[in-house]
Structure 1
Amino acid sequence: MNLGIEGRVAVVTGASAGIGFAVANEFVENGASVVIAARDKKRLDDAERALGARPGAKVVSVAADVSSPDAASVITTRALEAFGALDILVNNAGRAHAGGLMTSSEDDWDEMTGVKLTSMRRMCKTAIPHMQKAGWGRIVNMSSIGGIYPNPKLFVSHVLSAAINNLTKSLALEVAKDGILVNAIGIGAVATDNWANNMVPAVRRARPAFASLSDDEVIARISAELTPVGRAGEPKEIAAIAAFLSSARNGFVTGDTIEASGGADRFM
């Protein structure tokens, strides 16, 4: 499928690995110029080299903590300096946080809100004027199925996911007249380092019988148990959805949260 994004400029946050990297790779394969952003400069540099190895690839990186007040401006300025436009924004930065209300600290709330929600709001607000000027834009916000089917074991993450879904819908209604479409993806269990680092330890604590299993085995067991399709998702599968929502082929889907969870309503 020709996505019609050749020559478009895309910004992807949290793009040094996992889903963000897969999204950036999908854009590069379809001829878009891509700006990748993440905190870890070494991993980001590695990602830029890998993405840039494709013939004709146009990729630049910017090391930034998206929760910083000036990050949105820094990232957007990098896109404009490198490629002269900003057509597509994928807000992917963030991670899962295991724990309920009573076990989550104020620091947990502050960190998660800053990375997942506040940064998204700032990135959208900074990017949209450039999309309005062009009369065309696409924004994809990474959310979770927990924003639709909350699980108290992931209290902070799922409260914020619900807020992301609401932000997505509200923003879509505000900017539809400008030719800008805004959607979210409600992600289920996807096998990434982020998931292994942040979710698997909590699963082990809750399921002592899994103590001797490897991380991959834990993810496989939980996915087979809770996901109707019987497995965890792959980053490239989420990237394919993000690419379509970000493309010229999508002209009528906006304000939606697309569930990408293998049919599951929980993953822990």
Structure 2
Amino acid sequence: MIISESSNWVIKDSAFRQALHDEFGATFNTKDIKGIRCDGMDISSLSGIEYFENLEWLSCSHNSLTTLDISQNLKLINLDCGENRLSELNVRNNRALRYLYCYNNDLNNLDISNNPELEVLECYDNAHLQIESIYGVMIRRNPYGTGIRVLDTTNNPKLKVLKCSSNEITSLNLSKNYQLLHLDCDDNRIEILDVSTTQLNHYIPKTIVYSDYPLQCKMASLKTLYLKKDWRLKGINDASPVCIASNTQILYK
């Protein structure tokens, strides 16, 4: 579709029209557009985004969006819609989606069960968001403090970093996460944690995660922690209060 300055019927929000004009000029073909950046422009609606059928990335954070329909943007890989007023976000049609940033909104729920390529999910600071379960997602920077009860990463053997602190997780099966280099599961309800099949004893490149501690599992509920024989983990073996509770027993396999 050709968009011009007279296409008010397609792009109804004047601030969004201006953002497109600034980036692509007075006239352009929506099929030619691979990415749109319109952060912080006081946009209330992205109506018309459905015509950008080849869109691969969309950054529309720090606006006033209350709805966002990306159901027709099937090639979308990267979406940043953080700092808006979204109460719902449907990404079920976006199977190519790899990066999703929807932090600081008003989301009540989030279904990512149909996003097999998802690698990064940031959905913190959504006061009403309760994610009951996340399955089959490679989480590098995962949603913390969102009430997760079940977290299944057994289908993600390439997972290197997992941060799932401040949730309500009662068990965590890491038996298939052979490449895991960093785990932060502080403030959950786990009683037994086995990390012996991971690579937590290996050096963590700062390009992957900026942390001096490969394992942080401080929680009052944790009774037993299983490490691999001969492991020495900074913060764990020296019983740093930052990483582990004093009542947790360390055993070796």
TM-score, with structure 1 as normaliser: 0.26
Which of structures 1 and 2 has the bigger CA Rg?
2
Higher relative contact order (CA 8 A, sep 6+): 1
- Is the helix fraction higher in 1 or 2? 1
